[in-house]
Structure 1
Amino acid sequence: MDPLTVTAPPAELARRLYAALATGDRPELDTLLHPEFHGVLADGMPFGIGGEYRGADAMRADGWGGIGRHFAARAEAAQFLPLEDGRLLVTGRYTGTGRHGGGPVDAAFAHLITVTDGRISALEQHTDTARWTAAASPFTTLTLRITDGVAALRLNRPEHNNAINEAVAADLSEAATRIAEDDSVRAVLLGGNGPMFTVGGDIDLFAGTAHADLPAVLRRSIDDYHLALERLTEIDAPLVVAVRGAAAGGGLGMVCAADVVVAAEDAVFTVGYGGIGLTADGGNSWYLPRLIGLRRAQEMFLLNRRLSAAEALEWGLVTRVVPDAAVEEEAAAIATRLATGPTRAFGGMRRLLRQSFDTDLRGQLAAEKAVITEAATTTDAAEGIAAFAGKRRPRFIGD
């Protein structure tokens, strides 16, 4: 052991710790950290980084390592204050930037450091997690967090009832691309902040756009929005949508594209295009006849039929209806369950079901044969069969 570690005061050990973290000095960290080190990062840190880490290795790999994977930031200590209980209080600021398109990091911190036998045995972090979350996201109109295989995507324009404008469409396209490119995603959970899922297209945008310019504005927005929907339907990970308030207009397309829809008892569903002299987007004209039947789709489009949650359940538009207060919890539980399932098999199921309306029987039989034989090559198929034969619960890994 470095003799300085035994004799150095806690403030000196802390200074060395921050320097080692800034430079990635693994030998120095091995010297400084006690074998029974216990780290705590603040609850609410983005990407699921917050929580307890038992052992120096866990803290390096998943605590500080998790921060390093998502942020290029460092802790700049300003004050070192000994406490009566023997711990050291260090205050300062985190500065840096989010990786992968994130914004600047500028968050105050307070660290409570414990020294045992001349080595750092505990560090408890307190910080402004909202600033970290803001720095983590390159998005201005939605939030995206990927934790334990679930990509939680939330529309975030509650003051506009999550209306879809050009910025929302662009953010959705980028978020869907990131989800599609992330092999850790095994389920997608889509919802909206505030009381409303989405009212669909932004009427204020339409009204504030010169009539001659509206087609170009719509084209740009719909290009991005449709790309997002395509990517969310093409990935293996199932899509769960939580609906509170309303799902209207083009926003109804996200409900239609979902594999599971959980709706609040007071939620409503409508297309509403006829009321403003427009037609359809968001895949509504493709999905609705398949989900609820042509006659009912005609009624929704031509007569502006507005469905209650109970009617949407009866018509087959949603999967289940629960009290408003239970929507988010129920949808999250379903997404979590799906994230522990056989992800590649789920992807095959999604594709087979989606193409079944446009494929004749012979073609569908051939597709089923091709998809199931491909699924049979996966690790999850071997595990599932072995678990069934052994009368135990399978442990799928998504491959």
Structure 2
Amino acid sequence: MPVTAPEVLHRVENGVSWLTLDRPEAMNALTPAQRERLITLLSEASADPAVRAVVITATGSAFCAGADLRAAPGGGERVAGDVARLIRGGAQRLIASVLDCEKPVIAAVNGTAAGLGAHLALACDLVIAAEEARFIEVFARRGLVPDGGGAYLLPRLIGPQRAKELMFFGDALPARDAERWGLVNRVVPAEELEKTARAWSDRLATGPTRALSLTKHLVNAALDTDRATAFAAEAAAVELAMTTQDANEGVTSFRDRRSPRFQGR
């Protein structure tokens, strides 16, 4: 049976799948049910040709305070490998589902994004933050090691030195500093967050969806591959894109001197 989580609101408008965390009383800390629901919705967005972009956001004053530790399974004796298995099957699967989603994913960060919540935002392809938003690597404060792909994501976004600064000290990074460091694409007043996310997602939803998907894959893989592998992947992606209806429309519209009308196919 599919996992349901009433604390994840979902709607599709104009080709955009909106995923909204809705546990404001808990600062939108993620329960296992919410996590699984997000993974399912991102997978469905990949497979649904009617969905051409995704927005992840939240209600209340926080984006996501991380995993809800009160909802984590407890009790009983743990043996070596139990925690690693939980991380692989939980937080890492969630972050991978964002990175692997075949549609562009925007994070609209309305407030505090801490721990896994910060990694959920930073795994997205584009990040828009309200001025009040903060990003916090809380793990060191609790004597823990970052999970949910943090040590993979942060060095690739801001380099190892700044990544270590955030992870070693656990200090809150305000949205404006996150923008200056390159973690955030745009910082806007809180009242303009949804409007900006809608404008960006609407543009993506009218774009050449397959080409954007291939571009996302190339960029995400670039830092993990050598030049020869990256060039081979690029050549294959270009050839695949050239077989799409949108590529034909792009060339035709250029010749006709008009704006293209992409269908995502």
User: TM-score by structure 2 length?
Assistant: 0.91
* Cα 1:189/1:235, change in 2 over 3 Å: same
Q: 1:328 to 1:213 in 2, by over 3 A?
A: farther
Partner SS state of residue 146, structure 1 = strand
Larger Rg: 1
Mapped to 2, the partners of 1:378 and 1:173 lie a distance apart of 27
Counterpart CA distance in 1 for 2:248 and 2:174 is 44
Q: Distance in 1 between matches of 2:188 and 2:172?
A: 19
Return the alpha-carbon distance in structure 1 between the equivalents of residues 162 and 98 of structure 2: 26
Q: By how many angstroms is 1:247 displaced?
A: 0.8
| 1:226 CA drift (Å) | 2.8
Residue of structure 2 aligned with 1:306, choices 168, 172, 184 = 172
Q: Which residue in the other structure is 1:262 paired with?
A: 128
What are the Cα deviations for residues 328-363 of structure 1, in whole angstroms up to 9, with x where unaligned?
A: 111111111101100000011101101111111222
Question: Partners of 2:40 and 2:78 in 1: how far apart?
Answer: 25
Offset, 1:365: 1.4
Aligned partners of 2:63 and 2:113 also within 8 Å? yes
Q: Give, in whole Å, the separation in 2 of the partners of 1:212 and 1:306.
A: 35
- Segments ≥4 residues shifted beyond 6 Å: none
Which structure's relative contact order is higher, taking Cα pairs within 8 Å and 6+ residues apart?
A: 2
Quote the residue 2:98 is aligned against. Answer: 232
Letter in 1 for 2:29: A
Unaligned runs of 5+ in 1: 1-99, 102-136
Aligned with residue 182 of structure 2, among 305, 310, 316 = 316
Counterpart CA distance in 2 for 1:218 and 1:200 is: 17
Q: Distance in 2 between matches of 1:252 and 1:187?
A: 20
Could you give the per-residue CA deviations for residues 119-165 of structure 1, whole angstroms, max 9, x where no partner exists? xxxxxxxxxxxxxxxxxx94322011122211101111111010012
Q: Note the C-alpha offset of 1:305.
A: 2.9
One-letter amino acid matched to 2:156: R
Q: Which amino acid aligns with 1:352?
A: L
Q: Give secondary structure in 1 for the equivalent of 2:62.
A: coil
The equivalent of 1:34 in structure 2 is none
1:260 is displaced (CA, Å) by 1.0
Q: Tell me, yes or no, if the aligned pair for 2:29 and 2:64 is still in contact at 8 Å.
A: yes
Q: Helix, strand or coil: the match of 1:358? A: coil
1:247 to 94, 113, 121: 113
Amino acid at match of 1:253: H
Once the two structures are superposed, residues 93-117 of structure 1 have per-residue CA deviations (whole angstroms, 9 ceiling, x without a partner) of: xxxxxxx96xxxxxxxxxxxxxxxx
Cα distance in 2, alignment partners of residues 272 and 260 from structure 1: 22
Q: Which structure has more strand as a fraction of its residues? A: 1
The answer on whether the counterparts of 1:142 and 1:153 sit within 8 Å (CA) in structure 2 is yes
C-alpha distance in structure 1 between counterparts of 2:187 and 2:163, whole Å:
21
- What is the RMSD computed on CA atoms of the aligned residues? 2.3
The 3-state SS of whatever aligns with 1:263 is: strand
Aligned equivalent of 1:390: 256
What are the equivalent positions in structure 2 for 1:1-399 lying under 5 Å apart? Answer: 138-205=4-71, 209-210=74-75, 212=77, 219-220=85-86, 223-399=89-265
- Paired amino acid for 2:142: I
Whole-angstrom CA distance in 2 between matches of 1:285 and 1:396: 37
Q: How many Å separate the matches in 2 of 1:348 and 1:382?
A: 16
SS at match of 1:280: coil
Q: Is the 8 A contact 2:130 2:193 kept in 1?
A: yes
Task: Give the % identical residues.
Answer: 37
Distance 2:7 2:17 in 1: 16
Residues 252-304 of structure 1, C-alpha deviations (whole Å, 9 max, x = no match): 11212111111011210011101111112221111100001100000111111
Give the conservation status (yes or no) of the 8 Å contact 1:173–1:224.
no
Q: Does structure 2 retain, via aligned residues, the 8 Å contact 1:176–1:228?
A: no
Gaps of 5+ in 2: none
1:195 partner letter:
S
**What is the distance in 2 between the residues matched to 1:218 and 1:169?**
17
Paired letter, 1:193: T
How far is 1:237 from its partner?
Answer: 1.0
In structure 2, C-alpha distance between the alignment counterparts of 1:357 and 1:281, rounded to whole Å: 20
How many residues align? The count is 264
Q: Are the counterparts in 2 of residues 172 and 224 from structure 1 also a CA contact under 8 Å?
A: no
After TM superposition, the score normalised by the length of structure 1 is: 0.62
Q: Which amino acid aligns with 1:294?
A: P
Letter in 1 for 2:132: D
Aligned partner of 2:14: which letter?
A: D
